[in-house]
């Protein structure tokens, strides 16, 4: 997951994952770049190597995602659905 975390610190990343409670597929634009999220709280450590903590830009809140639920991720904002 190091490439994902490195990309999160660099800029905006879209993470597509399955929500544990509902099984719904969620597409979340997120970041760890302080210039983008401008939050006073900075995440310095992860609670588990199985979890990625990031700032969800669409919800304007911190979220954690279990690594084993991630379907795909890519740099940039979500791709338009066709």
Each domain of the chain, given as residue ranges in start order, spans: 2-75
Tell me the CATH architecture of domain 2-75: Roll (2.30)
* pLDDT of res. 80: 76
70 near 50, Cβ under 8 Å?
Answer: no
Position 21 pLDDT exceeds 80? yes
5, 13, 82: which is closest to 51 by C-alpha?
A: 5
For the chain, what percent of residues have pLDDT higher than 70? 88
- pTM tops 0.85: yes
Q: In which band, very low, low, confident or very high, does the pLDDT at 75 lie, cut at 50, 70 and 90?
A: very high
Closest CA to 70 of 42, 41, 30: 30
User: What's the burial of 26, exposed, middle or buried (CB within 10 Å: 0-12/13-18/19+)?
Assistant: middle
């Amino acid at each position: 997951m190091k490439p994902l975390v490195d990309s999160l610190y660099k800029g905006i990343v879209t993470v597509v994952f399955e929500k544990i409670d509902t099984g719904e597929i969620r597409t979340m634009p997120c970041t760890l770049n302080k210039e983008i999220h401008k939050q006073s709280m900075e995440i310095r450590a992860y609670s588990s190597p199985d979890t990625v903590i990031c700032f969800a830009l669409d919800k304007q809140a911190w979220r954690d995602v279990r690594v084993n639920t991630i379907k795909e991720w890519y740099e940039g904002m979500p791709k338009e659905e066709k």
